[in-house]
Amino acid sequence: MASYQPKVLIVDDNDLMRTLLRGMLRGEEYHVIGEARNGLQAVEAVQKLVPDIVCLDVMMPEMDGLEALQAMKQAKPDLVVVMITGNPSVENVQESIQGGAAGFIVKPFNTAKVLDTLKKAWSAAAASKGAASL
């Protein structure tokens, strides 16, 4: 089976966080196709770039990650969204999961944690798509 590289969109208002994530994913089995610095840009980027996975920060200006998550899932229900947060409150986690997030990465994160979370989220999505197409 040919190895498909999932297309990833990185969304965080912090330039350093986007750079870190891009660096972690570069050279791994992912293809970073774009970045956005707030929820509004993220929703537009999902429409334009059609990523497979979105790494989405919860706390951002203009439109926060939870609002962006809802808009993205309405437009593209099978999109795999992994939330990123420096404040893993129970409310944030519950709201994200209810909103359709496939995983959660807590800042400060390390490469192993990011890759493990993305792999689990992507595998689960691939498995459910496979089951749906049977």
Whether 122 contacts 101, CB under 8 Å: no
d(CA 108, CA 21): 11
Whether 97 contacts 70, CB under 8 Å: no
Q: Would you say residue 78 lies in a domain?
A: yes
Q: Which amino acid is at 101?
A: A
What's the mean pLDDT when you consider all of the chain?
90
Q: 38 pLDDT band (50/70/90 cuts)?
A: very high
Question: Whole-prediction pTM value?
Answer: 0.91
pLDDT digits (tens, 9 = 90+) for 18-31: 999 999 998 778 99
Domain residues for 87?
A: 7-110
Q: Where are the beta strands (DSSP E) in the chain?
A: 7-11, 31-36, 53-57, 80-85, 103-106
Whether 48 contacts 22, CB under 8 Å: no
Q: Would you say residue 79 lies in a domain?
A: yes
Structural domains of the chain, count:
1
Question: Closest Cα partner for 103 from 112, 91, 111, 114?
Answer: 114
Q: Would you say residue 80 lies in a domain?
A: yes
d(CA 32, CA 1): 22
pLDDT digits (tens, 9 = 90+) for 69-105: 999 999 999 999 999 988 878 888 888 989 999 999 9
The residue behind tokens 């099978």 is 78
CATH number for the domain harbouring residue 95: 3.40.50.2300
Q: Would you say residue 42 lies in a domain?
A: yes
Q: Would you say residue 66 lies in a domain?
A: yes
Q: Would you say residue 119 lies in a domain?
A: no
Residues 6+ apart with CB under 8 A from 20: none
The SS3 assignment for 35 reads strand
